[in-house]
Structure 1
Amino acid sequence: MKKLLCASCLSLALAVSTGTQAADKIAVVNMSSIFQQLPQRATVAKQLENEFKGRATELQIQERDLQTKMRRLQHNHSAIKANERSRMEKDIISQREAFSSKAQAFEEDNRRRQIEERNKIMNRIQDAVRKVARKQGYEVVIDATAVAYASNSKDITADVLKQVK
């Protein structure tokens, strides 16, 4: 019985000591700070702006045309014959529906591309985090925004930023 108790105490002591060693191999990184500081982020934003510029301009022109037609109908409402007014209203409704569907498709495509490009950048950052962690011997790296408090943790944000740039 004494041997079993002694073995249990010894295994408990070993578990506590390895837990303490693991705490020494934890690092913290601020992923959002790295993302904000990357020059590639501005390049990608400009690239996406150029990619969607034509469609955005087309939507703006279509919106102005639609507003002009609506104003013309409102100002000349009493001077226009009923059948002409009805035709104009149907035309405006049709044009508004086409505009709405194009605008919605534009927003979805733009959002999808932004997410794709953001994910590419985040993957590069995560690869850099892995490289720095392996090089410096860390077993666990936690995002600084996900931790309420970390007293004895090493912040590797600057090292990761150098690796990504």
Structure 2
Amino acid sequence: MKQWMKAAGLSLVILSSSMYAQAAEAAQKVGYVATGQAMQQLAKRYNVTEKLRSEFKDRIDELRSIENRMKTKVDKAKRDGELLSESDRTKIQRELASLDSDYKLKAKALQEDQRRRGAEEEQKLVMKIRTAIQSVAKKEGYDIVVDAQAVLYADPKDDLSSKVISAVK
């Protein structure tokens, strides 16, 4: 019976010490990054908006030109409407319809291309931020880094946002 008690006591000691070891192992260093703020600051730094605007400038100017031609035709139709012959009115209406359809087609294509290029640029920034987060986390000894929006409370010393922003190349 004594041996059985010793064995039970020893197993209890081993079990409790392994639980403490697991608890100590579970204590990991956790940091957080405000990725939304980082994205905004990096987009400004890399002039993403200006870059995209200049990339699509010619197409935007072309759309403005079509708008001006349409406005000119509408003004002419209003101004000279009663003086125009039926065939001239029909011609202007067809030209307006053609310009309108051309405008809508080009505007839709431009919008889609801008959306696609914006997403590409955003993805590049995301990859840069992700690489910087991994680098800072390894350098600072963090086991886990989460987005600041997922954190209800954390010590400000675990905010890695500024370090990540400065680490992006």
TM-score, normalized by length of structure 2? 0.81
TM-superposed deviation, 1:122: 1.7
Distance 1:83 1:37 in 2: 58
Where do 1:41-80 residues align within 5 Å?
41-42=46-47, 44-80=48-84
State the alpha-carbon separation in 2 of the partners of residues 40 and 151 from structure 1: 28
Q: Give 1:51's aligned amino acid.
A: E
Q: How does 1:1-165 map to 2 (within 5 A)?
A: 6=12, 11-19=18-26, 21-22=27-28, 25-38=29-42, 40-42=45-47, 44-151=48-155, 154-165=158-169
The structure with the largest alpha-carbon Rg is 2
Q: 1:153 to 1:12 in 2, by over 3 A?
A: farther
Quote the offset at 1:34 in angstroms. 2.1
Q: Deviations over 1:70-115 (max 9, x none)?
A: 1211222222222221221122111101111001111111121111
Letter in 1 for 2:167: Q
8 Å CA contact 1:26–1:153 kept in 2: the answer is no
State the superposition RMSD in angstroms: 2.5
**Identical positions, percent:** 30
| TM-score normalised by the chain length of structure 1 | 0.83
Find the aligned partners of 2:139 and 2:155 in 1 and give their Cα distance.
22
Alignment deviations for residues 31-52 of structure 1 (CA, whole Å, 9 cap, x no partner): 122222235432x332222211
Gaps of at least 5 residues in structure 1 are: none
SS in 2 for 1:78: coil
CA distance in 2: counterparts of 1:68 and 1:148, whole angstroms = 58
Matched residue count: 161
| Corresponding residue SS for 2:78 | helix
